[in-house]
Chains A and B, each alone.
Chain A
Amino acid sequence: MLTVCPYFHVHQPYRVKRFRVFDIGTDGEYFNDESETDLNNRRIVEKVAEKSYRPTNRILQQLLADHPEFRFNLSFSGTVLDQFEAYAPDVLESFQALVATGRVEILADTYHHSLAFFYSIPEFTRQVKQHEKRIKQLFGVKPRVFRNTELSYRNDLAKWCEDNGYLGIMAEGWDKYLGWRSPNFLYRPAGCSRIKVLLKNYKLSDDIAFRFGNQGWANYPLQADTYADWIHAHHGDGETVNLFMDYESFGEHQWEDTGIFEFLRALPTMVLRHPDTSFKTATETVESYDAKGEYDVPDVLTWADTDRDLTAWVGNDIQRDAIAATYGMEASVMKTRKRDLIETWRKLQTSDHFYYMCTKWSHDGDVHAYFSPYQSPYDAYIAFMNALSDLQLRVQQHHDSKARALVEALDDDAETIPVPVVKSRPQMVQKPPVDPVEEVAPEVPEVVVPVPVPPPSIVAQVRAWLGSIKLRLPW
């Protein structure tokens, strides 16, 4: 028995518009670009919906109807689901129809397509929960197999998933960790006792995702029967062929004129032609097969590049600076308990923002391997950091206004004494995370009592003195 476990990842980020220094403290909207460029999120979703989501879902729905054995998995970022809801509700409905067949499994994920696991496990946990809730609300199912952003993986992530009740987790089947072994079996993550890891067969996956439309490729044009033969060749040396790829491979990365849709339409028939071959969802796969050995990944493994690490996201100084600044504000942004501020902060955690700042390609000249809506990595960094500075300012203003409200509450003579407006300067983002002690007792910035001097009541006088010294509030 050989089964095929396909999984398509659906994702769109909220791209940050060209947010300028002048906009810090005045604009407050980062994702509402309305230009004719690829920074316009609505425009992108509408374009990809037309090129990829709608035609592909039609084909998948038909394939499910034609082949009772056909099964596959989907993973969604919360950010793409939100954008479907806003910009292309029919696409969301077509996904719901696929899931309603009961033969399409949804995988667990972070809501914001973030790398939070490697920076803040509490935040990561919150995003996974948020994602689970959203999937439940839209599709009525609870994911049982986990996949992390960009297929990033490490032993401790598998352990976290096991501890949180997941049956399986997905990872790249990378030679460095597999050695002579085949990716076409299940393995046990190092340090775990129950959870199993499904490994991507990167060769067969990338034949579709990356090489399909490459006219210079020896196997171009790839036909479904040839491809099915390659799958069938694993009879005897494997149990499950895991084909993991971006959903947008169909119609967006590989355009319609490459023949990708005909390929997809024909594939199940060709795979099922072999008598002992079928499809399984991730959960079925995990429940059907035993782990054949240990998969030990002490360092971060992803599905990107030839490096299979995080260097495309945090490989240079500006990337590391931006991501450190983002997670550095966790304590202060969470303390606001303001939904919109927290949500905006999370949208800025989406890994794509850091990917756009990648400069790896400038060394090997492989420009086209890195898609970005910005004209340069530095444009991406500037827009992002300016937006983040604005968010930091808003968070700071929130804390300041709360502190001010408290001063007012203390003041029974409030009407005669104007409370000076606290002017805070935009915070430099290189600032280290806020000291938790200060979090408990935030300082009111030094304020200067304005002229004219308040009426000469003693209470007012005391207020005035208090106002001019650093006031430590009692909470």
Chain B
Amino acid sequence: MRVLTFGWEYPPSKNGGLGVACYGLTRELVAAGIEVIFVLPKSQETKGNARFLFADQARLVTIRHTEAWLRPYQQSDDLVEVIVGYRPDGTPIIKSRTILEEVHRFAHQASLIAKEETFDVIHAHDWTSYLAGVAAKVASGKPLVLHVHATSYDQAASDNVDPAVRQVELEGFTAADSIVTVSGFTRNILIKKHGVPADKITVVHNGCDSEEPPRLSPALEELKRQGKKIVLYHGRISIQKGVDHFIRAARKVVDVDSSVVFVISGWGDMTNQIIEQVGTLSLSQHVRFAGALWDEERDRMYQSADLVVMPSVSEPFGLVPLEAISHGTPALITKQSGVAEVLTHALKVDFWDVDEMANQILSSLRYPVMRRQLVTEGQQQLKLLSWREAARKIHTLYQRLVQYVTP
């Protein structure tokens, strides 16, 4: 079986869970003997090293680059600016297009690729490739699977969604033969908000690569020496992520225990608002903005924290708590997250229940035995969240679709 996949390269170094998911799934599908034609939009960081990642199965994976300039986690009217050439005086010629225009260009190229290649199923990841998937389906007549990693409703954390993205979602969901969501939480959004029939959706929870990360030298040593307890937020600072609720909980925590320091690692369109909120609540002594931390710096922070909080308002899956646990730090997550469906060993609250969030933060700092158990049992559970299992479900889905289309 051969699959035409529209996805994201791993690692699109600083783009969160999407690239991780594409890589994990593709790796395991290929291991199961499925051939993959992996179509990538062009992004500034892409150096064409995907072939290297799949080098051991090069025979099974074909990488195709396109001229569409896309990056995940954007609004439809965000601008993509591309240097298309240089004037005689050396200044660059910059063309700018909106993401939405790129999405359509990507779809156009997808239809051409679909004409050239031979394959059995189309699999498109995230909203920016939905139209590419639809175009490929129209061009080839092959069944289409859309993989929903997030929806416009998650990004808006309300019903006030980006209408253009919603339009793309509706077109895609209607045209798709089958839809995969990363959680039951996201499945429910599709049913309630997009009116997708329930039997069209399969839930495939993300997996987790659970090799033991190396222990790094601790961060924030000065704070630790002073006996401070560290509560970490790591992620984008946007309305979807609920950082404002987290800060309100921080105020309540500090009222009871002034030795707690909250560290915020990340950046986003709400950063200034959060900084202002910290000032308004007189929390400057207790909140540190670390900027966006990645790779080793991020891991060091994970390992140094006493607790990691993911306060998301609407989180389709949520990789952060799994990363935290693999680094030996327990996590507090909101019930409005997909990962809550598969992770038992985390503290769970409703994002709006700031009192309870503060209570659980304080309790976890108070009772170290519980923190230890959340980690030891959580790490056992991580081992069960495998990409292999996710790929198995996807494979079954492919087989079902192929059966229908090719008698």
Q: Interface residues, chain A, CB within 8 Å of chain B?
A: 18, 20-22, 316-318, 321, 359, 362-363, 375-376, 378-379, 381-382, 385-386, 389, 428-430
Contacts and interface: CB of A to CB of B under 8 A. Distances in A.
A376 B370 contact: no
Contact of B367 (A18, A359, A381): A381
Interface residues of B, number: 25
A375 B348 contact: yes
A234 B369 CA distance: 49
Given A20-B355, A317-B372, A317-B373, A362 B345 contact: yes
A382 B370 contact: yes
Main secondary structure of the interface of A (DSSP, over half): helix
B377 A385 contact: no
Contacts of A18: 356
B344 A382 contact: no
B344 A362 contact: yes
A318 B369 contact: yes
A379 B353 CA distance: 14
A256 to B, nearest CB: 32
B381 interface: yes
B381 A385 contact: no
B382 to A, nearest CB: 12
B359 A20 contact: yes
A430 B371 CA distance: 14
B363 A386 contact: yes
A382 B369 CA distance: 11
Interface in B358-401: 358-360, 362-363, 366-370, 372-374, 376-377, 380-381
B94 interface: no
A316 B359 CA distance: 22
B252 to A, nearest CB: 8
B377 A359 contact: yes
Nearest to B365: A21
Given A317-B372, A359-B377, A382-B359, A21 B366 contact: yes
Interface in B19-53: none
Main secondary structure of the interface of B (DSSP, over half): helix
Given A378-B374, A381-B370, A428-B366, A359 B359 contact: no
A22 B394 CA distance: 47
Given A362-B344, A378-B370, A382-B359, 15 more contacts: A20-B359, A21-B359, A316-B373, A316-B377, A317-B373, A318-B373, A321-B369, A359-B344, A376-B344, A378-B347, A382-B367, A382-B370, A385-B370, A389-B366, A430-B369
Contacts of A318: 367, 369-370, 373
Nearest to B253: A21
Nearest to A367: B344
A321 B377 contact: no
Which has the most chain B C-beta neighbours within 10 Å: A18, A363, A378? A378
Interface in B313-356: 344-345, 347-348, 355-356
15 contacts: A21-B363, A21-B366, A22-B252, A22-B256, A22-B358, A317-B372, A321-B367, A321-B370, A359-B344, A359-B345, A359-B377, A363-B380, A376-B348, A382-B359, A382-B367
A267 B10 CA distance: 67
A314 to B, nearest CB: 13
A363 B370 CA distance: 18
User: Which A-B residue pairs are the 8 nearest by beta carbons?
Assistant: A20-B359, A321-B369, A21-B362, A362-B344, A382-B363, A317-B373, A318-B370, A318-B373
B347 to A, nearest CB: 6
A385 B370 CA distance: 10
A222 to B, nearest CB: 34
Contacts of B362: 21
A387 to B, nearest CB: 11
B256 A385 contact: no
Nearest to B363: A382
B372 A382 contact: no
Contacts of B356: 18, 20
Nearest to B367: A385
Contacts of B377: 316, 359, 362
B363 A317 contact: no
Contacts of A389: 366
Contacts of A386: 363
Contacts of A381: 367, 370
A21 B355 CA distance: 10
Given A316-B373, A317-B369, A318-B373, A385 B344 contact: no
A375 B353 CA distance: 15
Contacts of B358: 21-22
B378 to A, nearest CB: 10
A379 to B, nearest CB: 8
Contacts of A363: 380
Given A376-B348, A428-B366, A22 B373 contact: no
Contact of A385 (B363, B372, B373): B363
Contacts of B348: 375-376, 379
Nearest to B252: A22
B62 to A, nearest CB: 39
B271 to A, nearest CB: 30
A27 to B, nearest CB: 13
Which has the most chain A C-beta neighbours within 10 Å: B356, B360, B370? B370
Which has the most chain B C-beta neighbours within 10 Å: A20, A316, A386, A428? A20
Contacts of B381: 362
A382 B373 contact: no
A317 B256 CA distance: 26
Contacts of B347: 376, 378
A187 B358 CA distance: 55
Contacts of A375: 348
Nearest to B355: A20
A379 B345 CA distance: 11
Nearest to B255: A22
B345 A382 contact: no
Contacts of A385: 363, 366-367, 370
B248 to A, nearest CB: 14
Nearest to B380: A363
A397 B206 CA distance: 51
A435 B348 CA distance: 37
